[in-house]
Amino acid sequence: MQDVETQWLINARSGDAQSFGRLVDAYQTPVYNLCYRMLGDHYEAEDAAQEVFLRAYKSMDRYDPQRPFSTWILSIAAHYCIDLIRKRRMKPVSIDELPYQQITDHSPQPETALSNREREEQVRVLLDSLSADDRAAVVMRYWYDFSYEEIAAALNLSVSAVKSRLHRARQTLADRWTKHSLNPQSLERTRNESPAF
C-alpha cells in the first residue's frame, strides 16, 4: 500500500489529477474528521475538507516527500479550519442562522444511536470551549496520536508551546466537564443558548 501511495504521490506531483483523486479517496476520512472536530458542523466540514484537498492539489509542488503525506495534509486542514474559526468569531451571527446539527449515526439500535449522538454532542461542546489553536492540538493528539514534535511541525509551533497549549486545554476541558457533572442541564442550555446573550 505504501508503494502504491508513493507512486500516486509522484504522479500527483507531476500534475496527474487522477492520482491525486486516489489520494483524496484514501485520506477523505481523516481530513473530514479533523474538519468536523474543528468546526462542529457537517456541512462546514464537507466544504472545508473539499477546499483542503484543492489547496493541497495546487501546492503539490511544495510537498516534501520526506514528510508523511498524512501529516502534511492534516497540517493544511488544521490551518484552514483555524482561519475559518477566527473569521467566524469576528462575524456576528443572527439567531436565524443557527443550524440544526444532525449527526449521522449508522448504529441499528436506537439506544446505541442515542448514546452515540449524546457522546458526539458532548465532544462537540467540549471542543467548542477551546480556542482554535488549542482545539487543533487536542484533535491531533487524541484522534490522530500525533507526537508533540508532529503537532509542532503541523501547527508551526515550538514543542514547548505545544505542551503548554495541551496542558491549558486539558485544564479547560476538565473544568468544563466538572461544571457539566455538577449541572447536567448545562450541556442542554449551552446548545440552545443564543449567542446574543
Partner 1 sequence: MNHQLFEEWLLTEEPLSSDQAEALASHLTTCESCRRVSAAWSEVEHLFHATTFVDPAAGFADRWQNRLAAQNLYELQKRQRRQSWAIFGITAVSAIILFILMLARVLASFDNVTELFVYWVGQMTALLSDASLIQEISLVLIKTGITVVPFSTWMIILSTLIVLCLLWIFSLQRIYFRGGLFNEANH
Contacting positions for partner 1 (CB under 8 A): 17, 21, 24-25, 28-30, 32-33, 36-37, 42, 45-46, 49-50, 53-54, 57, 104, 119-120, 122-123, 126, 142-143, 166-167, 170-171, 173-175, 177-178, 181
Comparing CB distances to partner 1, the nearer of 30 and 82 is 30
Give residue 190's Cα distance to chain centre: 21
Q: Which three cell numbers stand for residue 190?
A: 449551552
Nearer to partner 1, 36 or 72 (CB): 36
Residue 11 and residue 37: Cα distance in Å, rounded? 31
What is the closest distance, in whole angstroms, from the C-beta atom of residue 24 to partner 1 in the complex? 5
Cα distance between residue 81 and residue 60, in whole Å = 20
Would you say 63 or 142 has its CB closer to partner 1? 142
Minimum CB separation from partner 1 for residue 109, in Å?
16
Q: Which is nearer to partner 1, 79 or 143 (CB)?
A: 143
Maximum Cα–Cα distance for the chain, whole Å? 57
Place of cell 480556542: 131
Q: Toward partner 1, which CB reaches closer, 37 or 155? A: 37
CB of 189 to partner 1, least distance (A): 19
Q: State the nearest-atom distance from the C-beta of 16 to partner 1, in Å.
A: 11
Is residue 139 within 8 Å of 38, Cβ to Cβ? yes
- CA–CA dist 109, 93 (Å, integer): 36
- Phi-psi map region of 110: left, alpha, beta (phi>0 left; psi -120 to 50 alpha): alpha
Min CB(21)–partner 1 separation in Å: 6
